[in-house]
Amino acid sequence: MPAAAPTSDLANVADAATTPSAVEVRGLVKRYGEVEALRGIDLTVNTGERFALLGPNGAGKTTLFSILATLRTPTAGSARVLGRDVVTERDAVRRELGIVFQEPAIEQRLSGRDNLLLMGLLYGLPTAAARRRADEILTQLGLAESAGRPAKNLSGGQRRKLELARALVTDPKILFLDEATLGLDVDARRGFWSHVRGLAATGRTVFFTTHYMEEAEVADRIALIDAGRIVALDTPRALKARLGGGVIRLKTDDDAQARTWLTGRGFATDADAAELMLVHADPAAVLPELLRHLPVKVLRAEVHEPSLDDVFLKLTGRGFGSEHASAPPGGGRGGPNGRGRP
Ligand SMILES: Nc1ncnc2c1ncn2[C@@H]1O[C@H](COP(=O)(O)OP(=O)(O)O)[C@@H](O)[C@H]1O
Ligand SMILES: [Mg+2]
C-alpha cells in the first residue's frame, strides 16, 4: 500500500523529536566560595556524538564533568543526561554512565580481570556473566594477555585502558572521560584514543575533557572553555575556518619593531610569548614579500594551516599549549586534578 512509506517517515520524524539529547546544559553556574568555576554554560551534546571539552588548566573542565557525572551539584542552572536531571534523577543518570576519571579508580593490587569481574558483580551481574563480560572487554581493548597481572605492574598506557575497560563493564550509553590520558606518552595516547574511536563507532556518546589540542581533534564537535565560559563551540574544521585563513609565524631579532611595521601595513598580528602570529587568506603568497621587506632580521618563518591553538589564541588572547593557566578572579587552585572521584 503506497500510504505506508510516508507514515513510517512521519514516525521517524516524531521519534527524532522526542529522543532526548545525550547532554543538555543550560545556564550552568558553579561557585566554590569566591571562585566562580563555571559562569553560565550552555551546551547540547547529541546522542552518538564524540564531544570534546577543551581548555587550559583551571578552565572548569573537571567541574563541568563532575556535575554531569552527578558527583557535584550546580550552584545554578540545569543539566540533563539522556533527558534526566543530574540533581533530581541522579540514580537514573548514574545507571547510564561509564566514567573514566583523571585519577586511578581501579584497585591496583587486583589483576585487570578481577577488577572487571568485581565491577560486574557490584553492578549485579551473575558471576558467569560478569566473567564473560570481563573477558569480552579485555579482548576488545587488547588487554587479554596482561589481564592476569596485578594492575600496578602494568604500563601506564595499559592501566589507562583498564580504567576504560572498567567504565565499559556496565555497557553504558554514554562515556564520560576527564583528562583520561594525562601523563601518557604520545604513542600510548594514540592507542587509547583509537579504542575510544572504536567505541564511538558503535553508537555510544563520548564526552571527554582534555587540554591536549590533538586529542580534541578526534571529536565531532569541540567546546573551547576558558575561565568558566564556553568561548566557541563547533566542529574542529569550522573552528579553524573562523580564523579566516592560514597562519604565518615569525621569529625575528626584534619582534616589537616587526609588529609595528606589520600593523602599519594593515596586518593583524597576535603575539604569544615567543613569536609573531599573523593570519592571512593566502599566507604562502604573502610570505616572500614579507621576508624581502621586513626591516628586521627574520630568524624563523613558518606557514601552516590554522590549528586549534591558533583559534584559542585568537579568541582569548592567550597561548594554550604552554602553561598559561586561566584562573577566574578570586584565584583558586589551578592545575589539573582529579577531584571528582565518588
Ligand atoms: N573543590 C574546589 N574548591 C575550590 N576551588 C575549586 C575546587 N575545584 C576546582 N576549583 C577551582 O575552580 C576552577 C576550575 O577548576 P577545574 O574544574 O578543576 O578546572 P580544569 O579541570 O579545567 O583544570 C579553578 O580555578 C579551580 O582552582
Ligand atoms: Mg581537570
Percentage of residues in the chain having pLDDT higher than 70: 87
Backbone angles phi, psi at 130, to 5 degrees: -65, -40
Pocket test for ligand 1, best of 30, 333, 341 (most atoms within 8 A of CB): 333
Is residue 179 predicted with pLDDT exceeding 90? yes
Gap from CA of 336 to ligand 2 centroid (Å): 4
Which pTM was predicted?
0.84
Average pLDDT of 234-256?
Answer: 92
Residues framing ligand 1 (Cβ under 6 A): 32, 35, 37, 55, 57-63, 327-328, 332-334, 336-337, 339
Task: Name the residue at shortest CA distance from atom 17 of ligand 1.
Answer: 60
- Does CATH number 3.40.50.300 belong to domain 242-316? no
Cα–ligand 2 centroid distance for 179 (angstroms): 7
State in Å: Cα 187 to ligand 2 middle: 22
| Rounded distance between C-alpha atoms, residue 87 and residue 92, angstroms | 10
Checking if the pLDDT of 78 tops 60, the result is: yes
- How far, in Å, CA of 152 to CA of 207, rounded? 27
Q: Mind listing the pLDDT tens digit for each residue in 199-234? A: 888 889 999 999 888 899 999 999 999 999 999 999
Which ligand 1 atom sits nearest the alpha carbon of residue 225? 22
The residue written with cell numbers 609595528 in the block is 260
Predicted pLDDT at 254: 92
Domain regions of the chain by residue span: 20-237, 242-316
Beta-carbon contacts of 132 under 8 Å, excluding residues fewer than 6 positions away, are none
Which mutation among 28, 31, 35 tests ligand 1's pocket best, with the greatest number of atoms within 8 A of CB?
A: 35
Distance 21 CA to ligand 1 centre (A): 27
Average pLDDT over residues 298-322: 83
In SS3 terms, the chain reads as CCCHHHHHHHHHHHHHHHCCCCEEEEEEEEEECCEEEEEEEEEEECCCCEEEEECCCCCCHHHHHHHHCCCCCCCEEEEEECCEECCCCHHHHHHHEEEECCCCCCCCCCEHHHHHHHHHHHCCCCHHHHHHHHHHHHHHCCCCCCCCCEHHHCCHHHHHHHHHHHHHCCCCCEEEEECCCCCCCHHHHHHHHHHHHHHHHCCCEEEEEECCHHHHCCCCEEEEEECCEEEEEECHHHHHHCCCCEEEEEEECCHHHHHHHHHHCCCCEEECCCCEEEEECCHHHHHHHHHHHCCCCEEEEEEECCCHHHHHHHHHCCCCCCCCCCCCCCCCCCCCCCCCCC
CATH code for the part of the protein at 20-237: 3.40.50.300
- Among protein residues, the one with the nearest Cα to ligand 1's atom 27 is 333
Question: Would the CATH topology of 20-237 be identical to that of 242-316?
Answer: no
Q: Rounded CA gap, 102 and 338, in Å?
A: 5
Q: How far is the CA of 53 from the centre of ligand 2 (A)?
A: 11
